[in-house]
Amino acid sequence: MKKILLMVLALFLSIGTMAQETKTKKAKTKKETTEKVEKAKKETKEKADKKAKETKSKTKEAKEETKSKAKSTAKETKDKATTKKKETEAKVDAKKKETKAKVDTKKTETKEKATTTKSKTKKTVAEEKEDMKETAASKAAEKKVADKVTGEYKGKKVYTGPRGGKYYINKNGNKTYIQD
């Protein structure tokens, strides 16, 4: 728009300077040209104002639409997030229940195994008496031991070694360590 106005203005000025007219005609033409230029300026201003108003209204409408779309998408994403959260919580709860059940069954199995192994390791009275018998080798080994006597275990003397380990001398003359 500005270019057109400048072109029109330049055209009028060039025509006015080229023509050799009388002063009155020049004055009249100058007034007419200035009036025309002013009218043209007013018209261009009005057109520009109308276009500005239209663009403002369009931008307002576009903003309102984007706000409404943003709100709706935000609500949708919230809804999706809450449903996903609930689903994952349900899955986690189910897995917790499964693991608790597995742990409980394993505990019972280990208890059963422990009771069976205890019953297997218990010796009969005759076997214990035989273990209690001291042989010549065990008596000789007891004499060679320089560790402190700290008690008794299965009828044998319990010794404490230099590192704090507790043991007794079995019927074969070997050291058998005791777990506390």
pLDDT in tens, 73-120: 888 998 988 998 999 999 999 888 888 888 888 888 887 777 666 555
Indicate yes or no: pTM above 0.95: no
Give a yes or no: residue 48 inside a domain: yes
- In this structure, the answer to whether residues 28 and 80 fall within a common structural domain is yes
> Rounded to whole angstroms, how far apart are CA atoms 177 and 58?
94
Report percent pLDDT > 90 for the chain.
26
Whether residue 11 sits in one domain with residue 69: yes
Asked whether the beta carbons of 138 and 167 are under 8 A apart, the reply is no
Q: Based on the fold, state whether residues 64 and 10 are members of the same structural domain.
A: yes
Q: Is the pLDDT of residue 140 over 80?
A: no
Position 21 confidence tier, pLDDT thresholds 50, 70, 90: low
Q: What is the mean pLDDT of residues 119-146?
A: 64
The secondary structure of 82-119 as a DSSP string is HHHHHHHHHHHHHHHHHHHHHHHHHHHHHHHHHHHHHH
Give the domain extent around 32: 2-86
The reply to whether 31 falls in a domain is yes
- Give the pLDDT of residue 131: 63
Give me the pLDDT at residue 160, please.
Answer: 92
Q: How many domains does the chain have?
A: 2
Domain end among 29, 61, 86: 86
Give the tens place of pLDDT for each residue, 33-81: 899 999 999 999 999 999 999 999 999 999 999 988 888 888 899 898 8
Spatial separation of the C-alpha atoms in residues 179 and 84, rounded to whole Å: 54
Return the higher-pLDDT residue of 121 and 16. 16
